[in-house]
Amino acid sequence: MHLMYFTEQPMSAYPVEAGREFGATALMFSNRHFDPVAGSRLYNEYLEHYKLAEEVGFDGIMLNEHHNAPFCMQAKCNVFASILAAMTKRVKLVLLGNPLPLADNPVRLAEELAMIDMVSRGRLVSGFVRGGGQEQLATGVNPAFNRERFEEAHELIIRAWTQPGPFRWEGTHYQHRVVNPWALPLQKPHPRVWIPGVLSKETIIWAARQRYPYIALSTAIDATKKIWELYDSVAAEAGYTSGPENRGYLQRCHVAETEEKALANARQFMWMQGEFTGLAHPVWSTPSGYFSPSYRKAFVEFAVGRGANPRAAAFEDQIRDQQIIAGTPKTVIPKIRRLLEETRPSIMGFWTSDGFVSNADATSCIRLLGQEVLPVVREMGKELGLWSPFEANAPVSIKEAKGPAPAAA
């Protein structure tokens, strides 16, 4: 198994009442409420958490980014990946990921990622995402071309990493006279690409066609099983058999010395009222053209308050469905076992704390997980045959699987 540590890097140091009064804090909640003194303290606390996660035995650190929102302080995951590339020694740096459509110059991303891979001595996992709805508005990128830009930027980055330059790129959304970056990834044929997601079937299908591991973000167990049914069927059509090495899962999991404390802290996962990507305004989170036409009816009804948010669920439901796990090391282990047995992922991210959880509790949670939970989970992984892409030496992509055998990273 590949066991990762994750935090959204919440920016909780703002007047809660002002946020509640404004309502949707993602995108338009004024940054006059942003306190750089608290921001500086939090960034440095989060860096300490990452260091601790490596010390206590996590295999990877998962990073992400969002814009204009207090629920996530990372505005550029490549910045933290760069810091951690030099600061850590062993963990994989798993970016889930760079929002490709937001990039006006994907070659620049290819350069940055290559630099991170070299500085970290080949520890980069380069995930890619579409970016949330608000992200398109925050960066002025046309939501109607989101998926087209995602696919074209991906193709350009992989080409920049694998095809010797210089070459010319004349695409639909990107045009480059000269692609010839003098920074190339250390890992060959290129760093692994993992694709996280929560809702869009199109993304699952796309990831399966590429043979990229898909990381389900805190979906309920039944929904996760459906994701793997779809992934496996697309894999079969594409001519390969998918297994645990193609499956990842991000588990919200808070561990404390007592049940009561764990449950109280786990409620902080709901500090954005269950919204996965921050407290979103229904219109801003679902700009026209961003979602596939199959969701159009559900989202227009949500946007005018006529339908429930297709993404949010109540705390009790999320505890029941194990989207959130909370307890002592002893009580969370059987729950993790159930997840592993029923959905068979080999990549497990642990999102340990959120919202207003204190630095002391967040730190204690990482320590407890590392010392008492991860060793048990690792043994379960061996027992259940949940070999990670690294352990299975899985090909980095369907394209590379068809070509010569990949060299070990």
Partner 1 sequence: MTLASEAVWTTEDVKLCGATLRLRKGGAGDPLLLLHHDIGSLDHLPFYDALAKRFTVYLPSHPGYDGSERPTWLRSVRDVAVMYQGLLASLELGHVSLVGLGFGGWIAAEMATMAPHAFRRLVLVGAMGVKPAQGEILDQALVSYIGYVRAGFEDQSAFDRLYGADPSTPQLEQWDLNREMTFRIAWKPYMYNPTLPHLLGGVRSRALIVWGRGDKVVPLECGEEYARALPGSRLAVIEKAGHFVDMEQPEALAELISEFAAGS
CB nearer partner 1, residue 141 or residue 235: 141
CB nearer partner 1, residue 28 or residue 83: 28
Q: Could you say whether residue 30 binds partner 1 (CB under 8 A)?
A: no
Q: Could you say whether residue 102 binds partner 1 (CB under 8 A)?
A: no
Taking CB under 8 A as the binding criterion, the range among 66-74, 99-107, 280-288, 330-338 that sits at the site for partner 1 is: 280-288
Q: Could you say whether residue 309 binds partner 1 (CB under 8 A)?
A: no
Q: Give the Cα separation of 1 and 379 in Å (integer).
A: 9
Q: How many residues does the chain have?
A: 409
The angle at the Cα of 258, spanning 253 to 260, to the nearest 5 degrees, equals: 80
Q: Could you say whether residue 22 binds partner 1 (CB under 8 A)?
A: no
CB nearer partner 1, residue 288 or residue 331: 288
Q: Which residues pair with 326 in a beta bridge?
A: 254
Q: Give the Cα separation of 69 and 257 in Å (integer).
A: 31
Whether the Cβ atoms of residue 218 and residue 403 lie closer than 8 Å to each other: no
DSSP class per residue in 230-290: HHHHHHHHHT----GGGEEEEEEEEE-SSHHHHHHHHGGGGTTTT-TTSS--HHHHS-TTT
Whether the Cβ atoms of residue 27 and residue 84 lie closer than 8 Å to each other: no
Q: Give the Cα separation of 5 and 365 in Å (integer).
A: 11
Site for partner 1 in 348-387 (CB under 8 A): none
Q: Could you say whether residue 170 binds partner 1 (CB under 8 A)?
A: no
CB nearer partner 1, residue 144 or residue 314: 144
Q: In whole angstroms, how close is the CB of 260 to partner 1 at the nearest point?
A: 42
Other beta carbons within 10 Å of 83: 16
Q: Could you say whether residue 282 binds partner 1 (CB under 8 A)?
A: yes
Q: Could you say whether residue 145 binds partner 1 (CB under 8 A)?
A: yes
Whether the Cβ atoms of residue 377 and residue 276 lie closer than 8 Å to each other: no
Q: Could you say whether residue 297 binds partner 1 (CB under 8 A)?
A: yes
Q: Could you say whether residue 143 binds partner 1 (CB under 8 A)?
A: yes
Q: Could you say whether residue 295 binds partner 1 (CB under 8 A)?
A: no
Q: In whole angstroms, how close is the CB of 285 to partner 1 at the nearest point?
A: 12
The residue ranges that bind partner 1 (CB under 8 A) are 28, 137, 140, 142-145, 282-284, 287-289, 296-297, 299-301, 303-304, 306
